């Protein structure tokens, strides 16, 4: 059942700070999107995973009762769209119980899964429980690269899961994360999706957080690869028509204006991580100085409206120049806070994707470095055929190991003016 959107205003902004007064609170609308990362456990080891790399800093998983309480509190506040992800959410034995409760509460429920663990018995139980939607991830069109990128033998299994999804009359929704090693296979990926009867395909270029950040210099494609992929996509669309809807998410690094990440932090998205930490975006855990609440101690209403972690990046009082005086700030909110932090060491800086940012060179240099590596052959973009050759340079996700987040904080350049 589809939950209905509430008619509350999306956001209203109080007055700007005066003198030494603290910034006036920005009153947000409800957290319409709730993402529950039920577990960090995952049978896959994807090199582009956005999960944190410093797993050792995370606590034990919430129990079923905690998740159900979170669902009730968030629904009472107006949450309507529910994503269940991880790690691999099917690793939780209580997934069906959580889905049943969410269905009773009136959420529209989307399971974001690798498919591993989705047996016929489980999909039948999830259907009975009221699951609305399944998004299945593939790593590539070829068994060899799919299995290499996830460090598992799962290609055949995923194909079987795709058949089960069709059998149980879910819309077939495929997600493939694109990067240097598979972006040249866009044509084959789309053909595979067509064979599987996909109605929706999301070709999502890698966003560089978490494990993808560790691997960025091996995953970032070249502009030429991106151009070829877009041409292939257009040819496919012209041939196949609109029967299969294709969403192509362009990589940030090739843009000159940043995305309105999360529609602004604390605006509509609320993520709860396996240990109960509540986040205004799925990657915000790494932002230093952000005091993040936990659903074990604080209810969702207080988290959403009153916690410092959710209020910090609301409004524009936190912004530095050039964002603060930029007319686009109400559209892009300064871009992605996590990207700004990883690239510049300061989450309050403009997202360096923006060509008005004094740090934009960090993005263009990364793109140039990728192009040079590919052109010189040191990166082996045809990695599909030689995955072994990549193995020693990529870091595979593993929740049993923990790697601290290191930013690319640049030494201040003489030509980069102080922002603030
Ligand atoms: Fe955290 Fe963009 S991913 S603000």
Ligand 1 centroid distance, CA of 401 (Å)? 23
> What atom of ligand 1 comes closest to residue 339's alpha carbon?
2
Angle (CA) 45-49-54 rounded to 5° is: 90
How remote is the CA of residue 182 from the centroid of ligand 1, in Å?
A: 24
Q: What are phi and psi of 84, to 5 degrees?
A: -115, 115
Nearest residue to 247 (alpha-carbon basis) of 255, 237, 257: 237
Nearest-atom index, ligand 1, CA of 337: 4
Residues 6+ apart with CB under 8 A from 354: 256, 257, 258, 322, 332, 335, 360
Structure confidence at residue 76 (pLDDT): 98
Measured in angstroms, how far is the CA atom of residue 259 from the centroid of ligand 1? 10
Question: Which ligand 1 atom lies nearest to the CA of residue 50?
Answer: 3
Find where tokens 């980069």 sit.
416
d(CA 338, ligand 1 centre) in Å: 5
pTM of the model: 0.88
The CA-atom distances, in angstroms, between 342 and each of 207, 242, 269, 420 are 12, 38, 21, 18
Query: Residue 10 has what pLDDT?
Result: 30
Q: Report residues of the chain scoring pLDDT below 50.
A: 1-22, 381-385, 387, 389, 391, 411-420
pLDDT at 375: 87
Q: Is the CB of 336 under 6 A from ligand 1?
A: yes
Both tokens of 197, joined, read 């009867």
pLDDT on residue 331? 92
Q: Of all protein residues, whose CA lies closest to atom 2 belonging to ligand 1?
A: 336
Nearest to 280 by CA among 260, 266, 264, 294: 266
Q: Are 138 and 66 in contact (CB under 8 A)?
A: no
- C-alpha 149/C-alpha 139 separation (Å) is 7
Residues 161, 203 contacting (CB under 8 angstroms): no
Q: Assess whether the C-beta atom of 283 lies below 6 angstroms from ligand 1.
A: yes
The closest residue, in CA terms, to atom 1 on ligand 1 is 338
């Amino acid at each position: 059942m589809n939950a209905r959107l509430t008619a509350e205003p999306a956001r209203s902004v109080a007055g700007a700070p005066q003198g030494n007064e603290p910034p006036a609170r920005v009153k947000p609308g409800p957290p319409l999107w709730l993402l529950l990362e039920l577990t960090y456990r995952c049978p896959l080891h994807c090199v582009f995973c956005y999960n944190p790399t410093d797993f050792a800093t995370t606590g034990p998983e919430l129990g079923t009762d905690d998740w159900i309480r979170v669902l009730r509190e968030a629904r009472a506040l107006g949450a309507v769209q529910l994503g269940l992800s991880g790690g691999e959410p099917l690793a939780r034995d209580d997934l069906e119980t959580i889905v049943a409760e969410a269905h009773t509460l009136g959420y529209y429920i989307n399971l974001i899964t690798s498919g591993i663990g989705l047996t016929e018995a489980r999909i039948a139980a999830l259907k009975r429980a009221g699951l609305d939607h399944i998004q299945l991830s593939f790593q590539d069109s070829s068994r060899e690269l799919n299995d290499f990128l996830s460090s598992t033998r799962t290609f055949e299994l995923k194909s079987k899961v795709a058949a089960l999804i069709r059998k149980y009359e879910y819309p077939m929704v495929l997600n493939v994360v694109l990067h240097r090693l598979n972006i040249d296979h866009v044509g084959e990926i789309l053909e595979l999706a067509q064979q599987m009867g996909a109605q929706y395909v999301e070709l999502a270029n890698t966003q560089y957080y978490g494990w993808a950040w560790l691997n960025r210099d091996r995953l970032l494609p070249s502009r030429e690869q991106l151009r070829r992929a877009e041409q292939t996509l257009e040819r496919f669309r012209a041939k196949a028509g609109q029967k299969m809807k294709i969403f192509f998410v362009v990589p940030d690094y090739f843009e000159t204006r940043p995305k309105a990440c999360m529609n602004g932090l604390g605006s509509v998205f609320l993520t709860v991580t396996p240990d109960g930490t509540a986040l205004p975006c799925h990657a915000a855990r790494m932002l230093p100085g952000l005091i993040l609440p936990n659903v074990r101690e604080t209810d969702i209403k207080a988290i959403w409206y009153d916690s410092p972690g959710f209020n910090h990046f609301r409004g524009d009082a936190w912004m530095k120049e050039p964002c603060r005086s930029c007319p686009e700030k109400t559209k892009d909110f300064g871009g992605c806070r996590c990207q700004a932090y990883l690239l510049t060491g300061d989450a309050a800086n403009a997202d360096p994707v923006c060509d008005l940012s004094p740090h934009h060179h960090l993005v263009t240099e990364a793109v140039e470095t990728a192009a040079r590596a590919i052109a010189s052959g040191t990166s082996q973009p045809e990695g599909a055929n030689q995955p072994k050759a990549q193995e020693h340079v990529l870091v595979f996700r593993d929740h049993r190991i923990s790697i601290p987040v290191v930013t690319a904080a640049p030494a201040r350049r003489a030509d980069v003016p102080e922002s603030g």
